[in-house]
A = this chain, B = another copy of it.
């Protein structure tokens, strides 16, 4: 009954890994038994993250599949691009359940991965095996399986905001534009001029326009859902804040639907899925309203003048966009309630 799972985290010293530690600390049926970092193995994790002082007193392990197996039942990979590709075959071979938070197993096409990630792709069999864990859409496929590829932060926000409309034929698929904005934690903990405080504070900037590796991920899922190839324009911006993603999505409405129709459509689609909250007419969510929580909040405005809908979708990039959804996937893999251990009230203000 009160089955407890032992979990290991590879990439524990990145922001995704350390957020897994925060969230799992209050999960009633998971115990983190190994925190792993190849770069700082042998050091106490609290040395690099003093907020964990007296909370996690353990030493960082090196990456060793057999050692991991001896300590854990499930392993999360919160690693930079190209690492999970190399580790996962042996982790699966050890009989571990695997949740890959990196982008290595999201694109089903090896050539697409090479084109957008400029890295050697995973073997096709692993790409085929990994189920794309966008919980509210593909959750049923995740139940009971061993290997999940966790969605990207931007795709989570954009796809949850788009899929019901795409499925229902409410929007013209050739007109989708996603203007996305992210807090800086999405860029990871690596120090660079691009993450330097004085460069980003009091600054708003666009980056990787038409080149972001989340473009093919979004299009792959939309195409799957629509049953036809869908192209989108997707732009990313950096906001001078730490956490949060907003996708402002534009599309031409089909069928004369108004704001209330969209609200009803989405409320129906997400019925029973606690982590998507569809806002009422004239109300749009802001990123702080989901901060620290696993919610994705969505609002709509159909403009009769232009015939377009504007959809606002917000998440916390480190929770629903990474560690939180990964735990949601673990819950589904284990056959538990998907909300188990994830009932965080957003931290406001």
User: Which of B177, B185, B201 is the one whose CB lies under 8 Å from A241?
Assistant: B201
From A19-27, A58-66, A133-141, A220-228, the one touching the partner chain is A19-27
**A233 close to B250 (CB less than 8 A):** yes
A214 CB–B CB distance under 8 Å? no
**A242 close to B202 (CB less than 8 A):** yes
Bound CA span A285–B274, Å: 37
Contact residues, A322-349 vs B (CB, 8 A): 343-349
A16 → B minimal CB distance (Å): 11
Q: Per-position contact with B for A180-198: 1 when CB-CB < 8 Å, else 0?
A: 0101110101011101111
Of A52, A187, A240, A344, most B-chain CB atoms within 10 Å: A240
Contact residues, A6-42 vs B (CB, 8 A): 15, 18, 21-22, 25-26
Chain B residues whose CB sits within 8 angstroms of the CB of A15 once the complex forms = 198, 349
User: Which of B25, B185, B202, B207 is the one whose CB lies under 8 Å from A244?
Assistant: B202
**B284 close to A205 (CB less than 8 A):** yes
Q: Closest residue of chain B to A48, judged by CB?
A: B193
A166 CB–B CB distance under 8 Å? no
Q: A184-B198, A197-B195, A248-B179 are in contact. Are A210 and B52 (CB under 8 A)?
A: no
A145 CB–B CB distance under 8 Å? no
**B209 close to A197 (CB less than 8 A):** no
Contact residues, A291-322 vs B (CB, 8 A): 291-293, 297, 299, 301, 303, 305-306, 308, 310, 312, 314
A3 CB–B CB distance under 8 Å? no
Chain B residues whose CB sits within 8 angstroms of the CB of A177 once the complex forms = 177, 250, 308
**B305 close to A231 (CB less than 8 A):** yes
A132 → B minimal CB distance (Å): 22
A161 → B minimal CB distance (Å): 13
A205 → B minimal CB distance (Å): 3
User: Which of B25, B283, B349 is the one whose CB lies under 8 Å from A50?
Assistant: B283
Copies of this chain present: 4
Chain B residues whose CB sits within 8 angstroms of the CB of A308 once the complex forms = 177, 233
- A binding-site residues for B, Cβ under 8 Å: 15, 18, 21-22, 25-26, 49-55, 177, 179, 181, 183-185, 187, 189, 191-193, 195-207, 209-210, 231-233, 235, 237, 239-244, 246, 248, 250, 274, 277, 279, 283-293, 297, 299, 301, 303, 305-306, 308, 310, 312, 314, 343-349
Q: List 24 A-B contacts (CB under 8 A).
A: A15-B349, A22-B348, A50-B279, A177-B177, A177-B250, A179-B179, A183-B202, A184-B198, A189-B193, A189-B349, A195-B198, A196-B197, A198-B242, A199-B288, A201-B202, A201-B240, A205-B286, A206-B286, A206-B312, A209-B284, A209-B310, A233-B308, A235-B248, A240-B241
